[in-house]
């Protein structure tokens, strides 16, 4: 089932709507449907976020503490990846790549 609605838009928005419909190769109605769908999904997400912010039982995290933990975790992950590399790769010296076909 679908319901038809009517809206009035300023001329600038109508022009932008027509341009979007042309670029997307669809009708004005389809652009409006997609825009409303996206807006309502964002609205739902924001509603959940606001609800969680207002929930006193929901844990509040300190950004600096979270950042330190993430950085520590990244360092551990990098060390584990390095440990998995073969010895010749770990001990290789890094030098700039040169292009043999390029003359100086």
Q: Are the beta carbons of 17 and 7 closer than 8 angstroms?
A: no
DSSP 16-69: HHHHHHHHHTS-HHHHHHHHHHHHHHHHHHHHHHHHHHH-TTSPP--HHHHHHH
- pTM score, whole prediction: 0.51
pLDDT tens digits, residue range 29-75? Answer: 999 999 999 999 999 999 998 998 888 887 778 889 988 888 888 88
pLDDT tens digits, residue range 73-91? Answer: 888 888 777 777 776 655 6
Cα–Cα distance for residue pair 46/12, rounded to 1 Å:
28
The DSSP letter of residue 97 is: -
């Amino acid at each position: 089932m679908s319901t038809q609605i009517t809206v009035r838009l300023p001329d600038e928005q109508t022009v932008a709507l027509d341009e979007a419909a042309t670029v997307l190769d669809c009708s004005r109605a389809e652009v409006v449907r997609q825009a409303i769908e996206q807006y309502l999904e964002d609205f739902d997400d924001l509603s959940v976020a606001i609800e969680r912010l207002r929930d006193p039982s929901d844990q509040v995290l300190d950004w600096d503490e979270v950042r330190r933990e993430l950085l520590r975790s990244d360092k551990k992950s990098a060390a584990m990846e390095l440990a998995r590399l073969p010895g010749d790769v770990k001990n290789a010296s890094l030098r700039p790549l040169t292009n043999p076909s390029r003359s100086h």
